[in-house]
């Protein structure tokens, strides 16, 4: 989380400092309203298009950023923050551009003094001036559409299959906003470091937008396969899916995940891999019925059905610098730990690990399978059924594992549960770098 917070703040601080330098804010007289309004329009516009450019680029899933940001799950969390920030900055930009005009029309604000008509300018500067009306018009409508699409993306009740389709069209709207920015950004900005920075961001965002519209995101990491076996645990509503791949898979580390497409109309969904890679072309996923789509899989998915798998992704790979670890799984957050259990069982080593499996919907068969794997992997298993044992609190964890400060914590489960655990353990002396949390939420 610290890395994506740093990236988020760095982007806006950098754009702000470069804008202050390029706009000459310190030497500007803001005793009159209209010069202030002009600069605020340009500043808020620069922030909005910078945030949207970075968000669009992150959506293309660049591999070189995954390790830097500590996993694709963190990249998508940053993508979400940037989308919200772009929406807020766009609303402010629209407000500075439109509201003063309305106030002046109603006579509540003095109109700006009319400038003496300047001589017609030749070349690029003159052409840009002629395009202002066109650029403002397309920018206004693009703002309305982008705001609508971003709001829809934030509404959890909006069906995923429609989110997947409409969100892709945001790339078209972004390209329109790029044209809007190119035509309206002051010429003086382009000769400064701000102009260079904005050019890089716009180029990166435009490339990613075209990449998305051509359906090339993740294309090189896709492998076709079919469903080989299905096991449903009704009490916990978990469907265990075993796949056989028909093409080469690069292999994966335990704890990683992949995007799986069972239905082309629904699109790809991210699921944690619940099996270690055995170099046999087989992958396993444990899928809980949490949403409209995943709840239907036990009835709609059948052996032999074709699937497409894209990945692997993620840095939740259990690689740390301490010999001991504590794993905390909330509900279906057990999936990455199942893969790790399999890998440890195959290694034959004694492991200094405590696994806490917290569930409100226990399934005897599913829990028996976890117990068997934990025994083979030679780790301590704590099964906490909320209706029988209560919930796992930070105090309880510290009491059950005396040497918790000497271990690393690996958490996968509900975000609120993980945040509570992280804050408490850090407050009691755990280094923030020793708490690893999977942010498994792509919206």
Of 6-15, 28-37, 143-152, give the lowest mean pLDDT range: 28-37
Q: Is residue 442 part of a domain?
A: no
Is the domain of 237 the same as that of 207?
no
Is the domain of 343 the same as that of 383?
yes
pLDDT at 370 (0 to 100): 93
Q: How confident is the model at residue 291 (pLDDT cuts 50, 70, 90)?
A: confident
Q: Is residue 111 part of a domain?
A: yes
CATH no. for residue 331?
Answer: 3.40.50.80
Domain span at 301: 219-313
Q: In terms of pTM, does the model score above 0.85?
A: yes
Q: Does position 38 have pLDDT exceeding 70, yes or no?
A: yes
Q: How confident is the model at residue 214 (pLDDT cuts 50, 70, 90)?
A: very high
Q: Does position 53 have pLDDT exceeding 50, yes or no?
A: yes
Q: Are strands 269-272 and 238-245 parallel, antiparallel or unpaired?
A: unpaired
Q: Does position 245 have pLDDT exceeding 70, yes or no?
A: yes
Q: Is residue 318 part of a domain?
A: no
Q: What are phi and psi of 257, to 5 degrees?
A: -140, 175
Alpha helices, DSSP H only, in 254-393?
292-300, 335-347, 364-377, 386-389
Count of domains in the chain?
3
Is the domain of 55 the same as that of 189?
yes
Cα gap 282→308, rounded to integer Å = 13
Is the domain of 55 the same as that of 106?
yes
* Higher per-residue confidence, 389 vs 196: 196
Q: Do 158 and 152 form a contact (C-beta atoms < 8 A)?
A: yes
pLDDT in tens, 59-107: 999 989 988 999 999 999 999 999 999 999 999 999 999 999 899 888 8
Mean pLDDT of 208-222: 94
pLDDT in tens, 377-414: 999 999 999 888 889 999 999 999 999 999 999 999 99
Alpha helices, DSSP H only, in 277-363?
292-300, 335-347
Is the domain of 158 the same as that of 178?
yes
pLDDT at 115 (0 to 100): 55
pLDDT in tens, 122-149: 565 666 667 778 888 999 999 999 999 9
CATH no. for residue 243?
Answer: 2.40.30.10
* Higher per-residue confidence, 289 vs 144: 144
Q: Is residue 265 part of a domain?
A: yes
pLDDT at 107 (0 to 100): 84
Is the domain of 283 the same as that of 373?
no
User: Widest CA span of the chain, in angstroms?
Assistant: 85
Q: Do 312 and 250 form a contact (C-beta atoms < 8 A)?
A: yes
């Amino acid at each position: 989380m610290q890395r994506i917070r740093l990236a988020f703040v760095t982007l806006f601080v950098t754009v702000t400092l470069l804008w202050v330098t390029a706009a000459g804010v310190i030497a500007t007289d803001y005793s009159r309203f209209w010069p202030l309004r002009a600069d605020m329009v340009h500043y808020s516009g620069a922030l909005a298009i910078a945030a949207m450019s970075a968000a669009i680029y992150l959506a293309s899933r660049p591999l070189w950023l995954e390790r830097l940001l500590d996993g694709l799950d963190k990249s998508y969390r940053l993508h979400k923050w940037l989308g919200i920030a772009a929406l807020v900055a766009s609303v402010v930009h629209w407000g500075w551009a439109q509201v003063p005009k309305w106030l002046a029309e109603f006579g509540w604000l003095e109109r700006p003094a009319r400038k003496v008509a300047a001589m017609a300018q030749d070349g690029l500067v003159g052409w840009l001036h002629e395009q202002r009306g066109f650029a403002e018009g397309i920018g206004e409508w693009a703002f309305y559409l982008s705001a609508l699409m971003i709001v829809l993306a934030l509404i959890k009740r909006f069906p995923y299959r429609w989110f997947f389709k409409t969100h892709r069209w945001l790339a078209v709207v972004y390209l329109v906003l790029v044209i809007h920015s190119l035509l309206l950004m002051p010429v003086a900005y382009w000769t400064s470091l701000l102009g260079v920075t904005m050019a890089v961001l716009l180029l990166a965002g435009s490339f990613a937008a075209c990449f998305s519209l051509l359906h090339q995101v993740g294309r090189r990491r896709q492998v076709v396969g079919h469903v080989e076996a299905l096991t449903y645990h009704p009490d916990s509503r978990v469907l265990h899916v075993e796949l056989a791949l028909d093409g080469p898979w690069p292999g994966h580390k335990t704890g990683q995940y992949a995007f799986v497409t069972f239905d082309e109309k629904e699109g790809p969904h991210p699921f944690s891999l619940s099996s270690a890679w055995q170099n046999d072309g087989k992958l396993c996923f444990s899928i809980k019925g949490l949403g409209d789509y995943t709840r239907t899989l036990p009835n709609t998915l059948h052996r032999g059905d074709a699937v497409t798998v894209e990945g692997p992704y993620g840095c939740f790979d259990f690689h740390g610098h301490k010999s001991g670890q504590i794993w905390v799984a909330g509900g279906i957050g057990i999936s990455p730990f199942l893969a790790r259990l399999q890998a440890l069982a195959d290694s034959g080593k004694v492991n200094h690990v405590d696994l806490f499996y917290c569930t409100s919907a226990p399934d005897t068969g599913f829990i028996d399978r976890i117990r068997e794997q934990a025994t083979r992997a030679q780790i301590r298993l704590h099964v906490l059924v909320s209706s029988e044992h209560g919930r796992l609190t930070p105090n309880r964890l510290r009491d059950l594992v005396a040497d918790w400060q000497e271990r690393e914590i690996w958490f996968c489960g509900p975000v609120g549960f993980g945040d509570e655990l992280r804050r408490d353990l850090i407050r009691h002396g755990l280094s923030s770098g020793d708490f690893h949390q999977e942010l498994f939420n792509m919206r």
